[in-house]
Amino acid sequence: MVLPSDNESQRLLGEKLKSRPDFQSLIMLIESLLGDNGCPWDRERTLADCPKYLDGELREVIEAVESGDDANLEEELGDLLFMVAFTIKVAEKEGKLSQTGVFERILNKMVYRHPHVFGGEMEAETAGDVLDNWGKLKEQEKAKKVDGD
């Protein structure tokens, strides 16, 4: 049995990733870029480098939305999503956080802030009710942080 060379393995991985357009494939792609056989330029990026790239991609998303360029919007949102995921993986590589921790925090926060959807005690019939509840919940969060919880 002949095993594929590293180049062939990387090519096959690239084909596999392209055939599965989902978030997990994006994470695998970034891990490959940052890995030992990955991209030298990407491996040199630090967390301090990421904000300027995030800012640039966000500006391009805003421009696509404001200009009504729907075809470009899909590409620019993909670029922004890549940079957010890339930033998470770079920060994780530097020991600043974990990908799991990022997802736990945002999922917990959004479930908490949407009690009208996820079975909490607050109800909301209108968008205005949601905004009122959101403000109350944010104040409760701030109070917990001040109390040290």
What pLDDT does residue 15 have? 83
CATH 1.20.1260.10 fits 17-96, yes or no: no
- The segments of the chain whose pLDDT lies below 50 read 1-4
Counting every residue, how long is the chain? 149
Q: What confidence tens digit (pLDDT) does each residue in 113-145 have?
A: 898 899 878 889 999 999 999 998 889 888 888
What pLDDT does residue 9 have? 79
Distance CA 149, CA 146 (A): 8
Distance CA 127, CA 87 (A): 33
What pLDDT does residue 3 have? 44
| DSSP conformational letter for 49 | G
* 8 Å CB contact between 116 and 124: yes
**Model confidence, pTM:** 0.84
